[in-house]
Structure 1
Amino acid sequence: MADEPDSIVLRYLRSIDQRLDRMQDRLTDLTARVSSLVDQMSGLRTDIVQIRHQLDRFDGRLQRIEKRLDLIEA
């Protein structure tokens, strides 16, 4: 009878250890995924800055064209 509580405790400890291992695996996976998302967001921000720059250039060119054609006041 004295061995039985130890084996029950050991079984619970093993179960807890297995759960912790699974949680660690999931946490590692989630960390990698979040890191990937951060990298993608950084790339998107860079793309947005480039697009804004191009739009600013187009806006300037459009304003010059409108001035030349007297479509807007100078």
Structure 2
Amino acid sequence: MVEPDNLVLEYLREIRGDMAKMSDRISTMSAEMTTVRQYLAGLVTLVEHDHSDIAVIKTRLDRIEKRLDLVD
């Protein structure tokens, strides 16, 4: 028969082990989230650059249409 004091210690050891595993998982997830944030920031930068390029092309196209008298 297991003594009550030892039983409590065993449960506490299991809880401590589980907490350590959870802490490791949280650290890993935190690092992964940082990576995802950096990736998304890069995507946002690319999209903003593309919008800028499209605006320049639109301006040039408008100018060409005016020169060729294609404007409605």
Q: TM-score if structure 1 supplies the norm length?
A: 0.91
Deviation at 1:6, TM superposition (A): 1.0
* Alignment correspondent of 2:11: 12
Deviation at 1:41, TM superposition (A): 1.1
Gapped regions of structure 1 (runs ≥ 5): none
Equivalent position amino acid for 1:60 in 2? T
Runs of 4 or more off by more than 2 Å in structure 1? none
Q: Deviations over 1:15-54 (max 9, x none)?
A: 0001001100100010001101110111111111100110
Identical-pair percentage: 38
Number of equivalences? 72
Q: Distance in 2 between matches of 1:65 and 1:12?
A: 78
Q: TM-score if structure 2 supplies the norm length?
A: 0.93
Kindly report the root-mean-square deviation, in angstroms, between the aligned alpha carbons of the 2 structures.
1.4
* Alignment correspondent of 2:56: 57
Aligned residue for 2:17, secondary structure, equals: helix
